Structure 1
């Protein structure tokens, strides 16, 4: 006689609710990212995010009370993912690296990361201006943890770096990325002007410029 199949164990209601909330949160972040990539931060409206995610506008505010909070959460995800990618590249192989090799690795890790670098360039001036202290604290805590992990790998690749140097290097890379992304992310009219031959000195190749700047910075640290 065939026994009656045991009933499937269902996940606790709280766990299902948490999964649903995380899925909804991810839908909103994906919608915000798609709109940002198609337009700009200023042009994205919370109503547009809700419509793209096929949710009521009020639902967006249950998860993210302001547009800045929404995009700071998106930046948090992108920043964490970039640190993980960079760490993976820094961990490949053995032995010390040259300043040029490390600079090239950092710069190349940002290729294809325009969404991340565009948001990073707006972090202090826009995204952190309309969020709660708790939201800012959680974001900064995660940044601090990621910086610490990357700093250890940087010291392994460049033994002349002190722990303070490694942290300073990461902060300076942030500043370089922010400045160069703003210089490279220009309006269509300006882009057309820069095609003129005599405008060549004003054109910015983001990866090449960033590689050169980090190399110069590291050579200065090494020569001390």
Structure 2
């Protein structure tokens, strides 16, 4: 015989699971709305009310999931960043081709195609997003980032034999600096874009993917030939 308590538990658990699924679906809906808005305007111009309208949710519902705008966009950064690390890990673990610094640099640059939101968000992480989030959110992000850098960095050290122990994570931090700096230079304002169409000013234009590949190749070449 099944007890009444056990029978009740069987009824409750599926309901709770469905509620958890609904919460996760709503959370992802909010993140996608924020991502779409961010691709068409600046961070400063995106309002939580805009995100709620785009997601077709009440503004108060959005705040239940993300207490601040910064917390929302930090969550979006996490989703994009760790998805990128997952792709890099898969390539490092499975690909059997010859491993060189230039090959890695080419993959990284190519992986940034159609990923404009990622370097844009990385560029405002320290001076914007981390200034108005709960301590537990910041700590969770930093802990996950530390673990990810350690794991991916170790894979890089296995593939690129010229890297010394511990240099894999440092290489990823330098790559982050390259990405942020080059993106800030390449992400031109409309008025600047018009000026750089002038032949004598075109030398100031920065091709993000090309410069990223070349800069990273030079960095790795320097490490290899030291």
In the TM superposition, residue 125 of structure 1 has moved relative to its aligned partner by 1.1
Q: Report the count of equivalent residues.
A: 217
In the TM superposition, residue 13 of structure 1 has moved relative to its aligned partner by 2.4
Q: CA RMSD in A?
A: 1.7
Q: Any gaps of 5 or more consecutive residues in structure 1? A: 1-8
| TM superposition score normalised by structure 1 | 0.91
Q: CA 1:93 to 1:56, structure 2 compared with 1: closer, same or farther past 3 Å? A: closer
In the TM superposition, residue 159 of structure 1 has moved relative to its aligned partner by 0.6
Q: What is the CA–CA distance in structure 2 between the aligned matches of 1:201 and 1:45, rounded to whole Å?
A: 36
SS in 2 for 1:23: helix
Q: What is the CA–CA distance in structure 2 between the aligned matches of 1:154 and 1:160, rounded to whole Å?
A: 10
Instruction: Encode CA deviations 1:38-93: one digit per residue, 9 max, x unaligned.
Output: 11100000011111111111111111010000000000000011111122222343
Runs of 4+ aligned residues of structure 1 deviating over 6 Å after TM superposition are: none
Q: Any gaps of 5 or more consecutive residues in structure 2? A: 1-10
Matches within 5 A, 1:1-224: 12-94=14-96, 96-224=98-226
Query: Does structure 1 retain, via aligned residues, the 8 Å contact 2:154–2:169?
Result: no
In the TM superposition, residue 145 of structure 1 has moved relative to its aligned partner by 2.1
Query: Does structure 1 retain, via aligned residues, the 8 Å contact 2:70–2:130?
Result: yes
Instruction: Encode CA deviations 1:166-220: one digit per residue, 9 max, x unaligned.
Output: 1111000000000111111111110010011111221101111011111111111
Higher helix content, 1 or 2: 2
